[in-house]
A and B are shown apart, each in its own frame.
Chain A
Amino acid sequence: MKSNTLILQTAAIYITPLQLLFSVFLLLRGHDEPGGGFIAGLMASSAFVLYMFSYGVTATRNLFKIVPVDMLALGLILGMISGLPAMFLGQPFLQAQWWDIPLLGDATLKLSTPLIFDIGVYLAVIGTTLMIVVALMESETDHPSGNGD
């Protein structure tokens, strides 16, 4: 199923990358301000869904280089790995660890395990949403007894 509207197709080319960029922005500002892994993941997957509406499932599959299932798996693994550093330091599982990495000049790069967790959530949400949307779109179009994805 794909739309043949010229307006949507043209717009999707410009909007999809912008949305993806915005989703990364949301992901990174999520710790102290509104945003975070879940909402960023939804934003990114809605970018892909928009592309899917305009160019169809097959074109979207070609667009992302890895399969949604892998993205989900990677996200889950990242999410759980983020709890481990605390355990090696003898603290409870999932206790947040912060690292300040000094950069050039006065700038410091603040990294933390919640960030890893958020990236995991981000990937997992994209993976899940795309799996579901692809399954829905495919079950609507061709194989009536296909198992989805």
Chain B
Amino acid sequence: MRLELLLPIILPLFAGALSLALWRSLWLQRALAVVMTLAMTLAGAWLLHSVSGEGYLVTDMGGWEAPFGITLVADIMAAIMVLMTGVMGLIVTVYSLGSIPEGHERFGYYPLMHLLLAGVAGAFLTGDIFNLFVWFEVLLLASFALMTLGGERAQMEGAIKYVTLNLFASAIFLSAVGITYGMLGTLNMADIAQKVGQLEPEDTGMITVVAMMYMVAFGIKAAAFPLFFWLPASYHTPPVAVSALFAALLTKVGVYALFRFFTLIFDQDVSYTHGIMLWAGALGMLAGVLGAAAQFEFRRILAFHSVSQIGYMIVALALMSPLAILGGIFYIVHHMIVKSALFLVSGVTYRLMGSHELKDLGGFYKHRPGLAVLFLIQALALAGIPPLFGFFAKFAVIRAGIEAGEFVVAGVGLLVGLLTLYSMIKIWAEVFWKKVPDHVTDTDRLTGVVADSSIWLLYLPLILMAIATVALGLFGQPFYTLVEAGAHQLLNPEGYIEAVLGRGE
């Protein structure tokens, strides 16, 4: 029984239930949210510490031994993701304290957030495909409710698409789980991986079919090309803190599931499955960045960029070399920090000027130079400018592409980096550089005439994230070593199988 493996899941679940019981008192809920996300971060750090020492942590739930019961497994990648979930939860909670309207808080914002975090952590840690489905549904349900919180027109419209497409993806996922069980008679990931390796040659065609079903299901959840349409339709509608949380976590769960399945289980027909992913990733990079270039609303630009960044992660997975997987994990961590930070910046500008449209914003460099610096750091990191963290992520992926001889994909990666810079410069020029537009009359909050007592709660997370982006870029060697070990684990699934099934013998 390893407590650190269980805590990241139980803590938010308990906190969610408690928070629901405390619905009469907003202050208790807020305090609980901060304490819980902090505790989850610490639990994640503990988990990562244990995993980096021991390689794998495995626990059977309820004492039912693998491969029969539900097993929780953590390797280095899962532990990093859990730690990041805690960190992002903490950061968004602090930001929410200063930004979420009280009405939203009363309608269950905190319980839902806890539920979402529990679902995400559960999805990262489970070693059972059906359990993964359950965690997916848990986090989806929480995300549906969070997305519609407040019930404005645009939210409803975005939510319907989001809900429909995600439920469709769940149906595909569940069918794939069914076929997997029908063929192999097991649901444990390690056991599946082992049995897939021992299949007769005539069954491998069916395995490829199942692999494609998982790819489509997780692809929808990860917003991979060409399945990403729900993302730009919905991410700009909920409150900014919710957008940031979604941008940090939701698509990453899909990407994580792709990484897990297509390194552990489906690595027989690499040229076929990973070939498809390679081009889906490359086209996703292009489609996202071109979509962003056509947008003039702060959060829509960011949402389209997410599609493009997901493309990089999928290309990294498709290349399947140690450097590429390392780049992929780097990219996921990088994107979690940077994208949510940019969403949070858009929340500050909205708070100060009351709009997300670029044409209605302006003058921030003059009046809020600090915010301009915080934005610039993250924007340059997103575009991959050295020495920020994003550069190393991008560098690893593109270098791996060149080493694998995929020059077109590597070229697309470089081009997309340039176009990302273009989009970021567009935001910079419109929001920060430009003067306050003439038609905007209400500038009291921007110029500081009207004091805003709780705005430090919005700045604090941004400052922390800017420090993280710079620090991981400049002093990233320990992290690099850790992720390198994680990539090694992913590419050698025997260790995972042995850790889950080979205990006690």
Contacts and interface: CB of A to CB of B under 8 A. Distances in A.
A–B: direct contact at CB < 8 Å? yes
Interface of A: 69-70, 72-74, 76-77, 80, 83, 86-87, 90-96, 145, 147
Nearest to B115: A76
B21 A73 contact: yes
Question: By DSSP majority rule, is chain B's interface helix, strand, loop, or mixed?
Answer: helix
A92 B1 contact: yes
Interface of B: 1, 3, 6, 10, 13-14, 16-18, 20-21, 23, 59-63, 103, 107, 151
Contact of A95 (B23, B62, B151): B62
Contact of A73 (B3, B13, B20, B61): B20
A74 B21 contact: yes
A120 to B, nearest CB: 9
Nearest to B19: A73
Contacts of B63: 86, 91-92, 95-96
A92 B61 contact: yes
A145 B151 CA distance: 9
A43 to B, nearest CB: 23
B61 A94 contact: yes
Given A90-B1, A93-B1, A147-B151, A76 B16 contact: yes
A76 B59 CA distance: 23
Nearest to B63: A95
B62 A70 contact: no
A86 B16 CA distance: 22
Nearest to B22: A73
A53 to B, nearest CB: 26
Contact of B61 (A70, A74, A90, A93): A93
Contacts of A91: 1, 63
23 contacts: A69-B20, A73-B17, A73-B20, A73-B21, A76-B13, A76-B17, A76-B20, A77-B14, A77-B18, A80-B10, A80-B13, A80-B14, A80-B17, A83-B10, A92-B1, A92-B60, A92-B61, A93-B10, A94-B61, A95-B62, A95-B63, A96-B63, A147-B151
A93 B16 contact: no
Nearest to B150: A147
Nearest to B69: A92
Contact of B21 (A70, A87, A92): A70
A49 to B, nearest CB: 21
B304 to A, nearest CB: 31
Contacts of B14: 77, 80
Contacts of B20: 69, 72-73, 76
A70 B13 CA distance: 16
A124 to B, nearest CB: 9
